[in-house]
Copies of this chain bind each other. A is one copy, B any other.
Amino acid sequence: MEILITNDDGIYSEGIYALATSLRKMGNITVVAPDTQRSAVGHAITIADPLRVVTANRNGKFFGYAASGTPADCVKLGIKSIMKKRPDLVVSGINLGGNQGYNILYSGTVSGATEGALLGIPSLAISLDTFTKPDFSAAAAFSVKLAGMVKKRRLPPGTLLNVNLPNLPAARIKGVRVTNQSRTSFNDWFDKRRDPHGNTYYWMTGDFKPKDADRASDLNALRGGYVSVTPIQFDLTDYKFVPELENWELKL
């Protein structure tokens, strides 16, 4: 397999290193990832500025390509300019912090996999539900298993798998659940502050204390100690509302 790896925490993060080290068992890997942290960039792409790409070493050896763009930029660059063969799989991660519910709209990690899926390549987004003391071992091993499954059983065109794992060693995780996206998101607000020159600025902050009654959701799988695997796609049309909207008899 030819595998393209990206993330949004940056090419020097520990999560992408654990992922790349594991996925080498499955074939040839190419790492193209942001040169610095690019969290919460959503599905941004860089069109008004040029992109720089430099090689990145880790532990004294060539590791991959560091790009001055977003995860979506990196996947486009990897497929269209850097890799000699079209990849069979795109994997984005391992992210520090879960990507559940509506948070996936803000997620650079998911957006790397989204770009792969839009370009017709089976894609996975892998996130670990913690910001501190990460144990990447279960996520790295499960990514290898999933890569094998996806190769054997195929994904529908345009659909990717959004995977979240509890921060536990594999032996302490209860299992894997196929889930749906929960209707939850960060609750955010702004700290209004004054800089040393007397000028106002705002800093976004927030918390994530959602409730969700839906047992089948990504959130509740994680809360229960399970891995969540949500298949996601990008036809956003609200088909259920179309007939009612047609009744509005819209006119210019």
Contact = CB atoms under 8 A, between A and B. Distances in A.
Given A40-B47, A48-B37, A252-B173, A76 B231 contact: no
A190 B81 contact: yes
Interface string A184-206: 01001110110000011111100
Interface in A140-184: 141-142, 145-146, 149, 153, 155-156, 158-159, 161, 170, 173, 175-176, 178, 180-181, 183
Contact of A80 (B81, B106, B170, B189): B189
B252 A46 contact: no
A171 to B, nearest CB: 9
Chain copies in complex: 2
Nearest to A237: B180
Given A51-B202, A234-B236, A142 B252 contact: yes
Interface in A203-222: 203-204
Given A50-B202, A145-B252, A175-B251, 8 more contacts: A42-B72, A43-B106, A46-B204, A50-B203, A51-B203, A77-B190, A102-B234, A230-B237
Contacts of A159: 238, 241
B50 A175 contact: no
B138 A246 contact: no
A interface majority secondary structure: mixed
Contacts of A242: 178, 180, 231
A218 to B, nearest CB: 9
Nearest to A110: B236
